[in-house]
Amino acid sequence: MLSSILQFSSVAQLPLAQAGQLLLVVGVSFAVIALISSTYRFHVMIQLSENALATVEDCNDFFFVQVTRYLSKINRVSSGFGVFIVQFETAISDKRRVQEELLHELRKIIRTADDKACLFRNDCVAAIIDTEESNIQAVAQRMMIDLKKVVTAIPLISAFRVGISSFPMHGANTQQVIDSATGALETVDFGNPIPFCAAPAPSTSTLENEKPTGELGALSNEDRNAALDPLTGVLKPTAVGSYMRKYLDEIRRKKEPAVLLCIGINRIDQIIKMYDEPSADDVIAGVSKVLQRLTRDCDLIGRFHRDDFLVLSPCTLQQGQLIAARLREAVQKEVFISGGKRIKTAVSIGITAHPEHGRNLRTLFRGAYRALEIVRDWNTTACLVYDPVTHAKKEKA
């Protein structure tokens, strides 16, 4: 009750009649959205497009984001995927025209709604195929047959070649998977009768000699080159910032809204005292599974503290509040099993929105985390939208 009053403090400043009308409208709107969400799980609310991709850098970032999205849904609805990069040769200077024509045809070749085709560099198109790693070879052979027909039908293309990689064999993060496919691409000559090459499996010696890059976090020692946290299966603390920053840049460039949810598991220290550390880990992993189950494929999930998560979702603030409420209620109803013990927990959620609360990830994170801290100070479970005026005053008090 207290959280609801604080979240709608601006309504309380209106005359009673107007406030009642506004709350009625909001209530009806939430009911309609709830009906839509329960039927479609938000899968048709947001559709990413490439209409705004004006530069090569834009195309590359868009491709990076798409691969990241596939990584983020691993352990939710898939266990692997393949990356196919198709490079073409043409005699004309307007490569973008040829690139878009080839992309149009490539989209006809991919077969499921879970597959994605997009532009890459200035002379490539790429496909991300949602399939088991063991199926990549068969998919490649089928796509080569279709691609040869496509290229023959586009007279502006004189030759093409294809590089292929797969997750998790060729890398545990976005850049590694893309680099493996582009590396395979360079080993094939244009005009080769078999114009494709799959990246080789990394050797044991190569893996042993890899050096960590960047600053290592407390959770990254076991799997320092992976983008995914081994306990929870979502983006790990050392990767979540850079991946979400790229995703937010893509959303912002298309002038679309986004919401950042800062989700904290309540009283994890009490769980450790009552049970033990492994039980706390089981609860954290269990909460992560709930988040993955109830979010969309286009939402990015990451872990940034031991018991805290971030969700970046392309949607409006109103939709984000509804998502947050669904996640909080689902965790509260869940029973987490650890060593035969039945453990209950809850989460609190701080919420910020782009562009309402900021235009970069740093600003959105500070606001959402501040809202989470306030809810934790109340010693309750709630979802709270950050209010720069009210919560800034609270900080100074």
In terms of domains, do 146 and 273 share one?
A: no
And the tokens for 302? 């990451």
The model carries a pTM of 0.58
Q: What angle do CA 261, 62, 42 make, to 5 degrees?
A: 45
The per-residue pLDDT for 2 is 37
What is the number of domains present in the chain?
Answer: 3
Tell whether 49 is covered by a domain.
no
In terms of domains, do 176 and 288 share one?
A: no
Tell whether 146 is covered by a domain.
yes
In terms of domains, do 240 and 332 share one?
A: yes
Nearest to 270 by CA among 343, 371, 218: 343
Tell whether 72 is covered by a domain.
yes
Tell whether 48 is covered by a domain.
no
**Phi/psi class of residue 386: alpha, beta or left (left: φ > 0; alpha: ψ in -120 to 50)?**
beta
Tell whether 45 is covered by a domain.
no
Whether the CB-CB separation of 41 and 292 falls below 8 Å is answered with no
Tell whether 291 is covered by a domain.
yes
Strand boundaries in the chain, DSSP class E: 81-90, 116-120, 124-129, 157-167, 196-198, 258-265, 300-305, 308-313, 336-338, 341-343, 347-354, 383-385
Residue 323, classified by CB atoms within 10 Å of its CB into exposed (0-12), middle (13-18) or buried (19+), is buried
In terms of domains, do 192 and 305 share one?
A: no
Domain span including residue 149? 56-202
In terms of domains, do 162 and 245 share one?
A: no
Burial string for 272-299 (b: 16+ CB within 10 Å, else e) reads eeebeeebbbbbbbbbbbbbbebbbebb
The per-residue pLDDT for 352 is 96
The per-residue pLDDT for 210 is 41
CATH code of the domain covering residue 326: 3.30.70.270
Tell whether 66 is covered by a domain.
yes
pLDDT in tens, the chain (397 residues): 434 433 434 434 445 444 444 444 444 444 434 433 433 333 333 334 455 566 888 788 778 777 877 766 655 555 678 899 999 999 999 999 999 999 999 998 887 777 889 999 999 999 998 887 778 888 888 888 888 888 888 999 999 999 999 887 887 677 888 899 999 999 999 888 878 888 887 654 443 344 333 332 333 333 334 678 888 888 888 888 888 888 888 888 888 999 999 999 998 999 999 999 999 999 999 999 999 989 887 888 999 888 999 999 999 999 999 999 999 999 999 999 998 889 999 999 999 999 999 989 999 999 999 999 999 888 888 999 999 888 764 444 3
In terms of domains, do 271 and 336 share one?
A: yes
In terms of domains, do 7 and 121 share one?
A: no
In terms of domains, do 185 and 275 share one?
A: no
In terms of domains, do 77 and 31 share one?
A: no
Euclidean distance between CA atoms 153 and 356, whole angstroms: 48
